[in-house]
């Protein structure tokens, strides 16, 4: 399985800035064999960047999309419109859940719509600080995982990625704390066990599980060597080109 390094740019960069970043990144980075490099710019930048990106080197992801293909849904962009432009789409990010009120039902429809349009969903799940404090982590993870995947057919699991992002570790969270490798290992194990119990052991092993939450070049190596972790979803640090390139090099070294 490849190692996935995904940069989530969130609401940052104009189209021009995104284009310059991509240009520099493509110049700086080699062609990695075992590392799948992905960046997720704002929706408005996706179409122009899709003409600029070298898809042999890296791929584009959307940060979100709507599950209906067309209709009276003011302000939305559909997966059908993104088809052919992106290879991935982040779905159910905690900022979507907690700022924009997305629930597991909507997330499940988005996961299904992505797959229908040949876009790999990166399904984000993770507990908040208070859920962890009340001992609810396992329940939250199971609910978000099973809920988010509820409309996925067994045959489509080749095209699904899970990202474990504890909300309390995301850099935009007030007083964010760094997750320890042991804390991550425990939840990743729970994710695989839940997948195995629900869909069978074979399927559970082939789904990539990424970690996200204040990842930077200093901790990327430790997080990538947590058992069961197949990659990283990176917010803040991915906005700094040199830092992102350093993380790619860490990923390459870990793979060797
Ligand atoms: P962070 O964001 O790396 O800035 O913590 C990660 C994310 O929200 O995906």
Please state the domain extents for the chain.
Answer: 3-249
pTM exceeds cut of 0.75: yes
Q: Which of 102, 131, 151, 165 is catalytic?
A: 165
The superfamily (CATH) of domain 3-249 is Aldolase class I (3.20.20.70)
> 203-208: which pairs have CB atoms within 8 A and are 24 or more residues apart?
203/154, 203/157, 206/1, 206/157, 206/158, 207/157, 207/160, 207/161, 207/162, 208/1, 208/2, 208/4, 208/161, 208/162
Distance (Å) from CA 244 to ligand 1 centroid: 13
Is 160 within 8 Å of 120 (Cβ atoms)? yes
> 75-78: which pairs have CB atoms within 8 A and are 24 or more residues apart?
77/43, 78/113
**Residue 175 confidence (pLDDT):** 83
Classified as helix, coil or strand, 148 is helix
* Ligand 1 atom with least separation from CA of 176: 5
Distances in Å between the alpha carbon of 64 and those of 10, 23, 40, 85, 143? 10, 23, 9, 13, 20
Distance (Å) from CA 167 to ligand 1 centroid: 9
**What is the full per-residue pLDDT of the chain (256 aa) written as tens digits?**
999 999 999 999 999 999 999 999 999 999 999 999 999 999 999 999 999 999 999 999 999 999 999 999 999 999 999 999 999 999 999 999 999 999 999 999 999 999 999 999 999 999 999 999 999 999 999 999 999 999 999 899 999 999 999 999 999 888 889 999 999 999 999 999 999 999 999 999 999 999 999 999 999 999 999 999 999 999 999 999 999 999 999 999 998 7
* Half-sphere exposure in the Cβ direction for 153 (13 Å, CA): 6
């Amino acid at each position: 399985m490849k190692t996935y390094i995904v940069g989530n740019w969130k609401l940052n960069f104009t189209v021009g800035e995104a284009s310059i970043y991509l240009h520099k990144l493509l110049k700086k980075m080699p062609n990695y064999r075992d590392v799948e490099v992905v960046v997720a710019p704002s929706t408005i930048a996706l179409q122009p960047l899709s003409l600029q990106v070298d898809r042999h080197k890296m791929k584009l992801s959307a940060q979100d999309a709507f599950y209906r293909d067309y209709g009276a849904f003011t302000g939305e962009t559909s997966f059908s419109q993104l088809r052919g432009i992106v290879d991935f789409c982040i779905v159910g990010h905690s900022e979507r859940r907690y700022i924009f009120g997305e629930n597991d039902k909507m997330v499940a429809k988005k996961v299904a719509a992505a797959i229908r349009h040949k876009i790999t969903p990166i399904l984000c799940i993770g507990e908040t600080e208070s859920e962890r404090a009340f001992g609810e982590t396992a329940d939250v993870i199971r609910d978000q995982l099973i809920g988010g995947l509820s409309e996925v057919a067994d045959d489509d699991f080749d095209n699904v990625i899970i990202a474990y992002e504890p909300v309390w570790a995301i850099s935009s969270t007030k007083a964010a704390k760094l997750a320890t490798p042991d804390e991550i290992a425990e939840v990743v194990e729970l994710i695989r066990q839940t997948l195995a119990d629900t869909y069978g052991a074979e399927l559970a092993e082939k789904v990539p599980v990424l970690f996200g939450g204040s990842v930077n070049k200093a901790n990327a190596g430790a997080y990538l060597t947590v058992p069961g972790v197949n990659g990283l979803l990176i917010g803040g640090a991915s906005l700094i080109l040199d830092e992102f390139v350093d993380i790619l090099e860490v990923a390459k070294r870990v793979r060797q």
